[in-house]
Amino acid sequence: MDMSVDTTSRQAYDPTYDPLVSTGPGRGQDYAPTYWVASAGEPPGDDGPIHGDRDVDVAVIGSGFTGLATALFLAREHGIKATVLEANRVAWGCTSRNGGQGQNASGRLYRSQWIERWGVDVARRLDAEIREGFGTFRGLVAQIDCDAQPGGHLYIAHRDKKMAFLRSEGALMRDRFGYDTRMLTREEVHRDYVRDEDAHGALHEPDGISVHPLKLAYGYIRMARAHGATLHPSSPVTGWRTEGERHLLRTPGGVVRARAVAIATGAYTAGSLHPSLRGRCYPILSNSIVTRPLTDDELARTNFLTHEAITDTRTLRFYYRLLPDRRVQIGSRSAITGADARHPRHERLLIDGLHRKFPALRGIDIDYSWWGWVDVSHDMMPRIAQPDPGQNVFYALGYGGNGVSFSAHAGRRMAERIAGRADPAFSLPIYDSALPTHPLAPFRRLGQALLYRWYYLKDEVL
């Protein structure tokens, strides 16, 4: 088996890539210039690009968290050795660009919204499934050296009027679902966690593990390959047709004929890849910056006593934390299109947010700045689905920014579905239906621009 890292057809990173307008994600593109790439160490070995036609049992498209977890669990729990196809370098998309915050969540809806949409009984079953999913993630993290930072999740009220929402959601989580949530005053946040000048208080959730996402992905790769999965970078799927019970996936190096296909391409999914994907997910951009390491004086003035995942209550929320090497990472939503992603105002938004929260860091050097696409479903919840029962095609998509942790369980569940296993959980809404479409999908970008203006007014002015 070839243990060398792929260097075939290496292309420069394209910062303007846009899933809605680009013809494809490229072939062999280098990574975005993230802190994670710079600090993850040498990538593990792979199996090189596809060379020649081949027959496989299962083809997994995408080598991010979901695709790697699917391949790992197919091999480890079902004895099925998957073939993973990656267009660029391993973990090139969402997995090497996120904030590394693993929370006990899936999608963008709160538990109160689950109850409104599906009722208490379904919400309780869904909560049990999400908890089990966080356990799957926790179990994998425990096996991999990925700079894990446990401790929970701090949900910061960026305005005083947001405290009522946090109290309500925290009480529901505690009383209906049994979570040990706690409300914190501004003074308690500043004294015991961090001196975030934006904070008017916070909700503390007990479950949360932040990680170095690329180190975690490298661990997934090593485990999956050790169990017999193969990983092929620089092998984009450029064509797909189905003949009988076989799916013929064309790559630059040959055709992969698969009994079953698992799609795990996140926000980097081309709508042309398969008919079941058209208009099903909406990609939005998220920017991130990482500072230089903080000095002792800066640590004292910011009172960063926690390494927990932190988010605030803005609709376009800031997510941030102190990294193990004393850098601060902070991210939020930004540009609408890939063509606009490089404009300095989007990085400026993050820097201004950092300064507002931590005045002591005004003027600090920014060592890393990048952006990436997030897959958001039209109903704000993911799907791990088989859209057509007559075809062995499956996907796990639509995490809405909560894929760091739930992708592990999504991969596990997708592997079970591919292997033909049944489970009562598959009657839950995230498993028993396809990703929804939206009648105004062609006008999403216009609507997004208007919504962003409204969100700013609602979050900062009204």
Q: Which domain holds residue 70?
A: 9-150+212-278+380-436
Same domain, 105 and 34: yes
Same domain, 157 and 58: no
Can you tell me the distance from the alpha carbon of 240 to that of 432, in angstroms, rounded to the nearest whole number?
Answer: 25
Name the stretches of the chain with pLDDT < 70: 1-9
The number of domains in the chain is: 2
What's the confidence (pLDDT) of residue 23? Answer: 84
318 located within any domain: no
> Is the overall model pTM greater than 0.85, yes or no?
yes
- 197 near 189, Cβ under 8 Å? no
Same domain, 30 and 174: no
- 331 near 311, Cβ under 8 Å? no
344 located within any domain: no
443 located within any domain: no
- We report the CATH number of the domain holding residue 30 as 3.50.50.60
Same domain, 62 and 94: yes
Same domain, 38 and 139: yes
Positive or negative torsion for Cα 384, 389, 394, 395: negative
What's the confidence (pLDDT) of residue 443? Answer: 84
* Per-residue pLDDT reduced to its tens digit, 317-327: 999 999 999 99
Same domain, 188 and 240: no
240 located within any domain: yes
Q: How far is CA 400 from CA 85, 107, 294, 367, 385, in A?
A: 23, 5, 31, 27, 16
Q: Report which DSSP code applies to 339.
A: G
361 located within any domain: no
* Per-residue pLDDT reduced to its tens digit, 241-271: 999 999 999 999 999 999 999 999 999 998 7
Same domain, 192 and 144: no
415 located within any domain: yes
Q: Report which DSSP code applies to 110.
A: -
- Averaged pLDDT of the chain: 95
296 located within any domain: no
* Per-residue pLDDT reduced to its tens digit, 157-211: 999 999 999 999 999 999 999 999 999 999 999 999 999 999 999 999 999 999 9
What's the confidence (pLDDT) of residue 452? Answer: 94
Can you tell me the distance from the alpha carbon of 311 to that of 155, in angstroms, rounded to the nearest whole number?
Answer: 5
Q: How far is CA 343 from CA 15, 453, 454, in A?
A: 11, 18, 21
What's the confidence (pLDDT) of residue 10? Answer: 75
Same domain, 56 and 124: yes
Same domain, 157 and 250: no
329 located within any domain: no
Same domain, 74 and 14: yes
Same domain, 192 and 56: no
Can you tell me the distance from the alpha carbon of 172 to that of 381, in angstroms, rounded to the nearest whole number?
Answer: 20
Q: Which of 206, 229, 244 is the last residue of a domain?
A: 206
Alpha helices (runs of H) in 419-458, residue ranges in sequence order: 444-456
Same domain, 97 and 35: yes
Residue 383 contacts by C-beta under 8 Å, 6 or more apart in sequence? Answer: 377, 395, 396, 397, 398, 430, 431, 433, 434, 435
